[in-house]
Structure 1
Amino acid sequence: MSDSEEDYDISKSIGFASGLQADSDSSSSESESGDYDVQDEILSSSEDEEPVTPTVKSKKTKEAKKAESKPTVEAFPSMEIDGDSDNDSDTAAYFTAAPTKKVSVGTFSGLGFSKFLLRNIIKKGFKHPTPIQRKTIPLINSGRDLVGMARTGSGKTAAFVLPMLEKLKIHSAKIGARAIILSPSRELALQTLKVVKDFCKGTDLRTALIVGGDSFDEQFKYMMSNPDIIIATPGRFLHLKVEMKLDLKSMEYVVFDEADRLFEMGFAEQLNEIIASLPPSRQTLLFSATLPKNLVEFAKAGLQDPVLVRLDADTKISENLQMAYFSIKRDERDAGLAYILREIIQIPPASPAQLKYLKESDQNQMESEEEEEDNKGKNSQKKGKSKRYAMRLPPPNELPTEHSTIVFTPTKHHVEYVTSLLNKLGYATSYIYGTLDQRARKDQLYRFRCGYTSILVVTDVAARGIDIPILANVVNYSLPGSSKVFVHRVGRTARAGRKGWAYSLVSENELPYVLDLELFLGRKLLLTADQMKNPNVPVSYTDRMVMGSFPRNRLEMHSEEVTAVIENDYDISCQRDVALKGEKLYLKTRSIASLESIKRSKALLTKDDTINKGAMWDDQHLLFGASAEKAKDELLALFGRHKQQETVFEFGNKSGAGYQLMKRRWKEVNGVKRRAQDKAEIRVKEKETFGDELDDLITNKKDEDDEEVTVEEKAAATAGNATASEADLSSTFEEVTKKKSFRDPNFYMSHYDPNQSQEKGFSLGGDTSFAEGARNATFDISGEGAEFQQKQGMKWDKKK
């Protein structure tokens, strides 16, 4: 370990009365993981409370433990992933109820931990255990297999780490690891390692981090040092197990952290092979935020008489989480993100100090990579890491920055595009996605944790893989297809009794997913029009899902700014095009919303007030108060309906002759209007009184007039002077209809002289007129021989 690292981690030089020494691989593991100070949960309590020193209880001997060993279990069966289904009906019947044992679990001292463990707990700042810790730790200490369900950020990591350290206590000279913790992602494994190291200070327990992306040689050295605790991802650990032919018969303690995520990422086959290699006498713990059907089958096969501890029945998200949903058009998503960051969260632009550090950090990283390429030695790696991690992380109970925000995007292409766009807008931004290099992932997360960047842009791979103790805001650039993924996203904020905000951008095609989320969370959707019906009722952003749009004028300003940035930067423009193509592929793989939600979304999107009951999904959001745009439209409509009664003769002149003239004229016009209105009212009353009978009488009277002849007609018929009816005329004579022409005889000028025949009649020189005689007498040689000339023109060549 270099001098810089010794000065950096002062806690390693502190000695304890127990005289136990730190594990030998502490420095090498810590150099690989980076100096992150990670805490699983922040607990609020009085700072003046004195720590309670517990009495150390007597522990069972190894012979007694062997005597209480569990029965032999058959090999682990193979299984397939059933998808993201809910709990089946036999879940409650399979898991036994947690026994109610009266133990003082209000403090960590009442849970029966050793003195060294309590000392480390107090140093971490923990005073009281969280609900999941109070429920699970006594059961784990008693040796039971357990399935723990609680929402993200409830303290699950400490719930299985503390009993594990209490059980292991000191390093064993026997060959073989005694505990293994399997995590779905490298980040989560790294953070679990830090929690383990913080709680096992003062002991000689050895740890090993086995994750993908790190050097195989280093991991071989870790395994050769005979570690007590292995923290690993399933894929890399299974690879190492096969390469080194590891024997796992010494395992006493097995933990599956974020188990549902392990199955979602496709680790079922690896888990089958790993668990089949474990001894039947092990204690198995399974912690998860949700419990799908395939996970229940896994628990039935891999756990023995497990206890189900469930704390997610009352609420799926924190009761302190405030949520706001903003309706946007598809091409305004970037402008909506800029509006949230600048107008709502009010994140300041990057300071000169931040920009200077980021520039130096990038330069040091490039130099470090060049040194590693030239020199593959270990010293160059340590030198690079000491340069990059020269600043300690803030305490766990403090925000990285006042406006620390995570932005979730659907694909890694969106991560690159949004990060470049926000950097161009002046923000200090970090980013993480699945295929990013391991060292770059650590470096980006370190920048955000230290406060050098205020925004972290990630994909769903980091929704439950990044543990940041306290976070201010979460922004969903687009909604996920699963409501459970949404819960995992927003679980990053509003932790440990603190309040937090989750902002979501919703387009038209994402509205059905919001309605699915409404049913999943049990929080009713609230639109602006619904709130206006009861304006005196306060708006609750924790109990309702409030939806609305941005103020139109301010959103257009941000849209113009974003458009200008994209048009002026060719790289960002190309990244946007790639992100749009990636989004098309993402939408094809996204799960479909329920049919009922799709029907409801169509009713909200329609403009017909009889269908949506006047509630529009894109009315201005309640966060922004009354809509100035809507007030302007109402005022213009009022002006449009207003009719001015005064004329130019009356305006401003109340005594002139024009005014008197128009006064008499208005009197006459009003009288006519009044009489016309009275007649209309009479017709309405008659129609209401007689109804359809009056119309029938009028119709019958017309028919009688057509069929019957009058008395005068009968008298004329007797005298022989009867007038023929139209029917007689049409049946007797053939009607001659003149052919309609477009010519109007009053204005049409014919090509021929209309008096031509008359002039011929008056002519004395015969039938020919002067014009005809002159035309016949004219001799012209210009056309001589024209009848013998060959006609010019194009001919079709048959050969071609």
Structure 2
Amino acid sequence: MLEVPGFEDPNKHSDSVESVKFKRKTNKSGGFQSMGLSFNVLKGVTKRGYKIPTPIQRKTIPLALEGKNIVAMARTGSGKTACFLIPLFEKLKIRSAKTGARALILSPTRELAVQTLKFFKELGRFTDLKAALISGGDSMDSQFSVIHGNPDIIIATPGRFLHICVEMDLKLNNIEYVVFDEADRLFEMGFGVQMNSLLEKLPDTRQTLLFSATLPKVLVEFAKAGIGDPVLIRLDVESKLPSELDLAFLTVRSEERTAALLVLLKLHIDPKQQTIVFAATKYHVDYLHLVLDNVGISNTYIYSSLDASARKINTAKFVQHKVSVLIVTDVAARGLDIPHLDNVINYNFPDRSKLFVHRVGRCARAGRTGTAYSLVTADEYPYMLDLHLFLGQSLLIINSTNPKGNIGCIPQSLIEEQHGTIIMLHDTNPDLLHAKQTADKAYTKYLQTRPVASVDSNRRAKQFLTNKCGTHAFFKTQINHLQEERDNILHQMKSYRPQGTVFEVCSKTKSQDYLAMKATRAFHKAAKTAYQQNMEKTKSTVPEKSVHLQESVKSEIENVFGEIVTSKKRKVDYLYNNQLKKQKMKDENYIPYSAPDKFTEDGMAINNFQREASQAQFDLTADTAEDIKKVKQQMRWDRKKKKMVGVSNDSNVGKLKTEGGKWIPASYKTYRYEEWKEKTKAAENEDNNEDDPLNERVNYNNKSFRRMNHNSKNKNKKVKSELRSVDQIVKQKKIAEKKKLRQNKKLRRKMKK
């Protein structure tokens, strides 16, 4: 058949209209439209400004829509909150006031719970689902009324939510969807007991989602015990920090730390940018707040013991750009998403590598850029080395040979100027001086409880002290050539060590001390030169160690998770290829001195040695099996239960940890719920609503209704019988006889007188 220009062969395209429609449906757009979301949910997502899902959202949301249990791991700022809210809207769909709560979201801190509720209202504003916030610091009476409103979703912190469950005797049988947000932080804060007790109350048919930025072994064990057949989603494991984040480590002296902070805030960082400053204790936060107020930098502050309403107000000030600096402790290091945050400053370097990741993860989120400045003193060098081992990055010190490193110092001239300002403030402001002294005392206590860095890092830190750090590239434009030469001379003076001893410097050449030291030096000269030559050879021949960091052992993960979802760029076995190659080359009898994932596990560890050692015991009194059995079967008398109960070695067994950190019995009740019901007549409202098929509201203010209700109660009351039994009559006779005897005794005493 001849082909006519401008016309197609009809036999060539014989597909029906239905097949064409089917092909159009299968075309993937790569956005939220291809996930099969309902109209109201998709409208809320697009109105929020989301167009293309992040990698963790692209992997998690389809699996969650299928109803699978998920353990998702991705770095901070990757959009994990939307991963569990969007499937939540699709699962619940419409409001059900009679059923009660059908979803539970647990957050480690109150700020993160408030942020999740705000995000829920933004994404789900076109759905009629209702959410309630249950967190510490709020009135329990208001939370009772909120739960009586039968919300569809409860967003809560574990301590207060379990307290509410105990007070109200809540049954969680209708929960269909459970989310553990920032799960590793929940374990770190000591909520492991609460999480396990909640799992016992929740139904087995629930869908469970667990989100975390890291995956320590304790979470793997928790998923194995409490989540049925979970799917593990691991993304961005190789890069624990986003590529848009710039790291700057600035070496300072401990007494010049505050001056270095002022240099950054006044001379380097733009005042229009938003900055978070992390301090070690709340006393440091108070001190820095006073310092910045005195130098004219707008700031506010947050720490855990601050009142809940004050924390909310101060956070709102920073989010709404009324202040440019927020000073916090580690209470804000997890989960908070502050839009357009530009900088993070570590005033005190964190003692754990994982904590550093979560601190600096507050900026450079959702594709934005940011900078993290860390002020490092001499006692914090080992922790900086541990951090680089954890991140798998090389240590680059700025000097004349390597001007492009990330570890440098601030010009001394800039620090001296700000240090003089601080000294003047201390002299003129006694309140500021008192806050400084309090912060110094708190820092000594903090050093006593700070965990110790690794042995290798402590050893290598001594070598790091001898290295000279040059001026960081950030400050090259703020100093001229003369100032740079002056700083170099000062560095040389600090590192100068005279070759002669005390006996030689101020002595005459013919004195006995000088001659004795000269003879000793000549005697040891050969050994000294040989040692120096040997050290130079080892430095030139020994290559630097390269440590391949791994998250967890492969066998443990495969035993727990049947399905593992990763990015297409890397396979599942990518993390273990190097380890398998090494095992083939090694001898079978070779035992390594440390695990290949040592630095990663140390950085992600939740249980430390001190905590495990405090739980361990060594009983010398029980030597045989029978004696050990007797010790375990010890009993004691319980006054409340009026019977003998077993003695437990663990003092926290059967107890729950509150938001304030106190341990209370699991059956602890203050009967505040019963008092609230009497005040608000909530029980009568429930009974009337159940009897009324139309669920009409009853007007309790009506006088006729009150009289009718009062008369009906009086009718139901039992009238006491006036007839007395034989025992009652005998008892009354005995009482009357005793009264007569007492009266006769009194009369006799009066007659004698």
TM-score category, normalised to shorter length: 0.5 to 0.7
Output one character per residue of 1:408-465: Cα deviation in whole Å (capped at 9) or x when no partner.
Answer: 0011111111111111110111100001101100100011111110000000011014
Deviation at 1:634, TM superposition (A): 7.4
Matches for 1:611-630 after TM superposition, within 5 Å: 615-617=467-469, 619-625=470-476, 628-629=482-483
Q: Which residue of 360, 384, 390 maps to 1:514?
A: 384
Deviation at 1:523, TM superposition (A): 2.1
Q: Counterpart amino acid of 1:547?
A: I
Q: Counterpart amino acid of 1:317?
A: L
Q: Which residue of 499, 505, 512 maps to 2:369?
A: 499
Deviation at 1:105, TM superposition (A): 7.0
Q: Which residue of 578, 589, 594 maps to 2:449?
A: 589
Q: Counterpart amino acid of 1:575?
A: A
Q: Counterpart amino acid of 1:233?
A: T
Output one character per residue of 1:495-516: Cα deviation in whole Å (capped at 9) or x when no partner.
Answer: 1111100001000000111111
Q: Which residue of 384, 387, 403 maps to 2:273?
A: 403
Report the Cα distance in structure 2 between the residues aligned to 1:199 and 1:636, rounded to whole angstroms: 58
Q: Which residue of 107, 110, 119 maps to 1:186?
A: 110
Cα separation, partners in 2 of 1:575 and 1:247, compared to 1, 3 Å: same
Please tell me whether the aligned partners of residues 345 and 374 of structure 2 are also in contact (alpha carbons under 8 angstroms): yes
Partner in structure 2 of residue 571 of structure 1: 431
Report the Cα distance in structure 1 between the residues aligned to 2:29 and 2:71, rounded to whole angstroms: 19
Partner in structure 1 of residue 85 of structure 2: 161
Partner in structure 2 of residue 488 of structure 1: 358
Cα separation, partners in 2 of 1:310 and 1:415, compared to 1, 3 Å: same
Cα separation, partners in 2 of 1:321 and 1:312, compared to 1, 3 Å: same
Partner in structure 2 of residue 131 of structure 1: 55
Partner in structure 2 of residue 479 of structure 1: 349
Q: Counterpart amino acid of 2:327?
A: V
Tell me the secondary structure at the aligned position of residue 574 of structure 1.
helix
State yes or no: 1:436 paired with 2:296: no
State yes or no: 1:215 paired with 2:75: no
State yes or no: 1:631 paired with 2:501: no
Q: Counterpart amino acid of 1:624?
A: F
Deviation at 1:632, TM superposition (A): 4.2
Output one character per residue of 1:233-270: Cα deviation in whole Å (capped at 9) or x when no partner.
Answer: 00000000111111101000000000000000000111
Report the Cα distance in structure 2 between the residues aligned to 1:490 and 1:312, rounded to whole angstroms: 16
Tell me the secondary structure at the aligned position of residue 373 of structure 2.
strand
Tell me the secondary structure at the aligned position of residue 341 of structure 2.
coil
Deviation at 1:346, TM superposition (A): 3.5
Report the Cα distance in structure 2 between the residues aligned to 1:628 and 1:284, rounded to whole angstroms: 64
Partner in structure 2 of residue 533 of structure 1: 401
Report the Cα distance in structure 1 between the residues aligned to 2:131 and 2:473, rounded to whole angstroms: 52
Tell me the secondary structure at the aligned position of residue 67 of structure 2.
coil
Q: Which residue of 446, 468, 480 maps to 2:316?
A: 446
Partner in structure 2 of residue 240 of structure 1: 164
Tell me the secondary structure at the aligned position of residue 528 of structure 1.
coil
Q: Counterpart amino acid of 1:130?
A: T
State yes or no: 1:550 paired with 2:383: no
Report the Cα distance in structure 1 between the residues aligned to 2:242 and 2:122, rounded to whole angstroms: 27
Q: Counterpart amino acid of 1:310?
A: R
Cα separation, partners in 2 of 1:568 and 1:105, compared to 1, 3 Å: farther
Output one character per residue of 1:571-628: Cα deviation in whole Å (capped at 9) or x when no partner.
Answer: 111111111111111111111111111111101213xxxxxxxx413x3223223874
Cα separation, partners in 2 of 1:627 and 1:132, compared to 1, 3 Å: farther
Partner in structure 2 of residue 254 of structure 1: 178
Tell me the secondary structure at the aligned position of residue 533 of structure 1.
coil
Tell me the secondary structure at the aligned position of residue 620 of structure 1.
coil
Deviation at 1:562, TM superposition (A): 1.2
State yes or no: 1:422 paired with 2:286: no
Please tell me whether the aligned partners of residues 620 and 627 of structure 1 are also in contact (alpha carbons under 8 angstroms): no
Q: Counterpart amino acid of 1:533?
A: T
Cα separation, partners in 2 of 1:111 and 1:637, compared to 1, 3 Å: closer
With 481-490 and 570-579 compared, the bigger mean Cα shift is at: 570-579
Matches for 1:169-180 after TM superposition, within 5 Å: 169-180=93-104
Please tell me whether the aligned partners of residues 407 and 455 of structure 1 are also in contact (alpha carbons under 8 angstroms): yes
Please tell me whether the aligned partners of residues 193 and 209 of structure 1 are also in contact (alpha carbons under 8 angstroms): yes
State yes or no: 1:108 paired with 2:35: no
Deviation at 1:203, TM superposition (A): 2.4
Q: Counterpart amino acid of 1:260?
A: D
Deviation at 1:112, TM superposition (A): 1.2
Q: Which has the larger radius of gyration?
A: 1
- Scaled by the length of structure 1, the TM-score of the pair is 0.57
Partner in structure 2 of residue 300 of structure 1: 224
State yes or no: 1:598 paired with 2:458: yes
Tell me the secondary structure at the aligned position of residue 232 of structure 2.
strand
CA-atom RMSD in angstroms: 2.0
Tell me the secondary structure at the aligned position of residue 152 of structure 1.
coil
Cα separation, partners in 2 of 1:534 and 1:461, compared to 1, 3 Å: closer
Partner in structure 2 of residue 284 of structure 1: 208
Deviation at 1:552, TM superposition (A): 1.1
Q: Counterpart amino acid of 2:138?
A: D
Please tell me whether the aligned partners of residues 97 and 151 of structure 2 are also in contact (alpha carbons under 8 angstroms): no
Deviation at 1:635, TM superposition (A): 8.8
Report the Cα distance in structure 2 between the residues aligned to 1:509 and 1:475, rounded to whole angstroms: 18
Deviation at 1:176, TM superposition (A): 2.6
Please tell me whether the aligned partners of residues 208 and 229 of structure 1 are also in contact (alpha carbons under 8 angstroms): yes
Please tell me whether the aligned partners of residues 206 and 228 of structure 1 are also in contact (alpha carbons under 8 angstroms): yes
With 620-629 and 121-130 compared, the bigger mean Cα shift is at: 620-629
State yes or no: 1:149 paired with 2:73: yes
Partner in structure 2 of residue 694 of structure 1: none
Q: Counterpart amino acid of 2:250?
A: F
Matches for 1:683-698 after TM superposition, within 5 Å: none
Report the Cα distance in structure 2 between the residues aligned to 1:244 and 1:175, rounded to whole angstroms: 17
Cα separation, partners in 2 of 1:635 and 1:254, compared to 1, 3 Å: closer
Q: Counterpart amino acid of 1:234?
A: P
Report the Cα distance in structure 1 between the residues aligned to 2:226 and 2:293, rounded to whole angstroms: 48
Q: Counterpart amino acid of 1:520?
A: F
Number of residue pairs matched by the alignment:
465
Please tell me whether the aligned partners of residues 211 and 232 of structure 1 are also in contact (alpha carbons under 8 angstroms): yes
Deviation at 1:630, TM superposition (A): 5.1
Matches for 1:19-30 after TM superposition, within 5 Å: none
Report the Cα distance in structure 2 between the residues aligned to 1:122 and 1:211, rounded to whole angstroms: 30
Deviation at 1:527, TM superposition (A): 1.5
Report the Cα distance in structure 1 between the residues aligned to 2:79 and 2:51, rounded to whole angstroms: 13
Q: Counterpart amino acid of 1:492?
A: R
Please tell me whether the aligned partners of residues 411 and 487 of structure 2 are also in contact (alpha carbons under 8 angstroms): no
Cα separation, partners in 2 of 1:202 and 1:433, compared to 1, 3 Å: same
Please tell me whether the aligned partners of residues 551 and 627 of structure 1 are also in contact (alpha carbons under 8 angstroms): no
Tell me the secondary structure at the aligned position of residue 53 of structure 2.
coil
Output one character per residue of 1:552-578: Cα deviation in whole Å (capped at 9) or x when no partner.
Answer: 112100100011112211111111111
Deviation at 1:629, TM superposition (A): 4.5
Please tell me whether the aligned partners of residues 403 and 472 of structure 1 are also in contact (alpha carbons under 8 angstroms): yes
Q: Counterpart amino acid of 2:178?
A: V
Please tell me whether the aligned partners of residues 412 and 487 of structure 2 are also in contact (alpha carbons under 8 angstroms): no
- Scaled by the length of structure 2, the TM-score of the pair is 0.60
